[in-house]
Chain A
Amino acid sequence: MKIRVLYFARVAEIAACPGEDIQVADGARAGDVLAEVARRYPEMARPDFKPLLAVNRQHADPGLTLADGDEVAVFPPVSGG
């Protein structure tokens, strides 16, 4: 499946891009995307770096099953306000 991955804030700085398409296996979960992102950008795999996920513009747990074409956002804990 093709997944559109979006990066924000410090995550976008580490990836040096706003997003990219990645391929994952059928039945993949949101957490699998996070693992692939951490593989590509080792700084995101640090134990003190705990990025969050959104799938199709809603906060999501790593266990959420993805569908082809889903949009997965990876970002640090939010700090608005």
Chain B
Amino acid sequence: MDPLCLMVTDPINTEAVMRRITGDGDGAVAVFAGRVRNHHQQRPVDHLEYHAYPEMAVEELRRIADELGQRHETSALALVHRTGELAVGEISVLVVAAAAHRRPALACCAEAIEIIKRRLPVWKKEFFTDGGEPQWIYGPDEDCAGGGASGGSSTDA
């Protein structure tokens, strides 16, 4: 089936996305959900604002999905990113990869989130509960180890 590529403003419903794209032949479904974390570099995060170049973002999600479809033996793929104001604990990005077997599903899911973070034209701005100035995050955090001045952010994605 065609990949499901969405930029949304409403909360992401993981179960609904899984139901929508999976079939009886899928013995494996790998899911990655990036959530808003309540802290960043010892500062308490209140919420995030996600801004996007929406027209390009949808096209970029489709390009990413097409590339992944050529590299992985998956039967279905969903790439969903939310924009707007998100509270701590809310899902900002969802990847669902389905396949007959686990390895392609897991590999596709892992690669998808890495590519999304490098290429999707989305930017987040962090707002803190300590009254400090909000700050833009520049560039993807490389992983949970955080990074330099622009690295790390208050999501696990």
Q: Do A and B bind each other?
A: yes
Interface residues, chain A, CB within 8 Å of chain B? 6, 8-10, 54, 57-59, 73, 75-81
What residues of A have a CB within 8 angstroms of the CB of B52 in the complex?
Answer: 8, 80
Chain B: interface residue count, which band?
20 to 34
**B121 with A77: CB separation less than 8 A:** no
Contacts of B121 in A (CB 8 A): 8, 54, 73, 75, 78, 80
Cβ of B47 under 8 Å from chain A: no
Contact in complex: B56, A79 (CB < 8 Å): no
Task: Assess the B92–A8 pair: CB atoms within 8 A.
Answer: no
**Is the CB of B157 closer than 8 A to any CB of chain A?**
yes
A6–B119 alpha-carbon span in the complex (Å): 17
Given A9-B123, A59-B119, A73-B121, answer yes or no on A79-B53 (Cβ-Cβ < 8 Å): no
**Smallest CB separation, B60 vs chain A (Å):** 8
Whether B119 contacts A73 by the Cβ 8 Å rule is no
Contact residue among A54, A76, A80 (Cβ-Cβ distance under 8 Å from B81): A80
Least Cβ–Cβ distance between A56 and chain B, in angstroms: 9
**Contact present for A75 and B53 (CB under 8 Å):** yes
Q: Does B51 contact A (CB under 8 A)?
A: yes
Q: CB-CB < 8 A to B113: which residues of A?
A: 81
With a CB–CB cut-off of 8 A, which chain B residues contact A73?
A: 53, 56, 121
Q: Check A57/B55 contact, CB under 8 A, given A79-B138, A80-B123.
A: yes
Q: Supply 26 A–B pairs (Cβ within 8 Å), ascending by A.
A: A6-B53, A10-B136, A10-B138, A54-B121, A57-B55, A59-B60, A73-B53, A73-B56, A73-B121, A77-B150, A79-B122, A79-B136, A79-B137, A79-B140, A80-B50, A80-B81, A80-B93, A80-B117, A80-B122, A80-B123, A80-B124, A80-B140, A80-B157, A81-B81, A81-B113, A81-B155
Q: Which residue, B60, B121, B122, B157, has most C-beta atoms of chain A within 10 A?
A: B121
